[in-house]
Amino acid sequence: MILRKYMSLLGVGAAQIDLILLKNQYCKDECVKGEFHLKGGIVEQEITRIECDLIVTDHHSKEEVVIGSTSLLTSRKIKSGHQEKIPFTFDLPAELLPSNDKRSYRFKTRLTFSEGVESKDQDQITITE
């Protein structure tokens, strides 16, 4: 049991997060909907927050900019092997430019624990006119 706890602190067998979106293509000023899927690891862990950033990447300059963020502060425990779903919504800004060969958008999600390594997830989306 102690070995499993230390392994989860290093990220091996830790709880995981996956953002599941209803679709991958959106118009600017649209509301993105989906769910955070949490899956417990090999030991019970305390979750302190879930953070999700919308990031635009300029492929020419390699610059990444956070456009907006959402955070869920929580103090919940996820048991070993337990699965949970949490609703997700994000209002896209009206001034977003469409995705193209030079510009792309993605959601970067982080699950933070009271102890241990963060769990991360990334989901690409396309912005149309």
pLDDT over 50 (residue 121): yes
Are 114 and 96 contacting, i.e. CB atoms less than 8 angstroms apart? no
pLDDT tens digits, 19-65: 999 999 999 999 999 999 999 988 888 999 999 999 999 999 999 99
What confidence score (pLDDT) does residue 14 get?
A: 82
Q: Which residue has the tokens 């900019």?
A: 65
Q: What share of the chain is helix, strand, coil (3-state, %, to 5)?
A: 5, 60, 35
Indicate the SS3 state at residue 6. helix
The pLDDT of 78-96, averaged and rounded, is: 95
What confidence score (pLDDT) does residue 8 get?
A: 41
Q: pLDDT higher for 108 or 76?
A: 108
Q: Which residue has the tokens 């624990």?
A: 113
Q: Which residue has the tokens 């396309």?
A: 126
